[in-house]
Chain A
Amino acid sequence: MRRLTGRILLPLALLVAWVLLNDTLSFGQVLLGALFAMLISLAIRRLRPLAAQPRRLHLLFGLIWHVLMDVIRSNIAVAGVILGATKRQPNVGFIRIPLDMRDPHGLAMLAVILTATPGTVWTDLSPDTNELTLHVLDLKDEAGWVRLIKDRYERPLMEIFE
């Protein structure tokens, strides 16, 4: 089951992208899209043999919802920092967070989530200690950031990818 979801997700995503690009659900386009999706997926497997093995995909919905809410919240926070910058420059800083996740696909997702959220940029992941260096725009509560990232993002990603 796990191998099957891993294999079917990429062709499915490519097919959805094809249908969206063509903006039609006609039989011919879906068939052509399915053909391309299969051929590209076969070619990709040669290029990147390490396949993601996601499972418990229902957890993804909760994660996406959390990320959406956090993106809106941090947009407001960063907007506030910019508007207040003439009076007070933000307290920028790096924080180090020890990660438990090792799966490269999960880590890639975490990197995209953290960097796409305003106010935080993924800076470095040490390969030997698995410690993440994160840059934060307005650093106030360091332990709070660590807790947020570990509980809200890392745990669901580990359940999905590991």
Chain B
Amino acid sequence: MNGAELSPWIALPAAALLVLGGLLGLLGALGLLRLSDFYARIHAPTLANTLGAGCVLIASILVSSAIAERPVVHEVLITLCVILSSPVTAMLLMRAAVYRDR
């Protein structure tokens, strides 16, 4: 079974989740443009790596499980690593900014 024969019950929610995840990534980028200073901007990209990444993750699980015809969940590890590592970067950036402005 390949992607072209995917049942609409899988394809439609997966497509909706991908669009939503993409929109959240776009909103995060838009935030970098629209917000005025570093302290406000640091919050914008979090949209993409929390709910945005979650949407892409669920879409990926749905599609690959349907194609393989068994549960495929190893993508969870990617999301887990993103969730565990991105706060470290955010905190480092934040502390560097606070130190600079002191």
Contact = CB atoms under 8 A, between A and B. Distances in A.
Nearest to A24: B74
Nearest to B30: A82
* Residue from the set A83, A90, A119, A121 with the largest chain B CB neighbour count within 10 Å: A121
Instruction: Classify chain B's interface size.
Output: 20 to 34
Which label, helix, strand, loop or mixed, suits the secondary structure of the B interface? helix
A122 B87 contact: yes
Interface size class of A (residues with CB under 8 A): 20 to 34
B51 interface: yes
Interface string B52-67: 0000000000000000
Contact of B27 (A72, A79, A111): A79
A89 B87 contact: no
Contact of B91 (A21, A72, A79, A123): A123
A124 B91 CA distance: 9
B10 to A, nearest CB: 19
A124 B95 contact: yes
Contact of B51 (A75, A82, A89): A75
Interface string B75-98: 011000001101100110011001
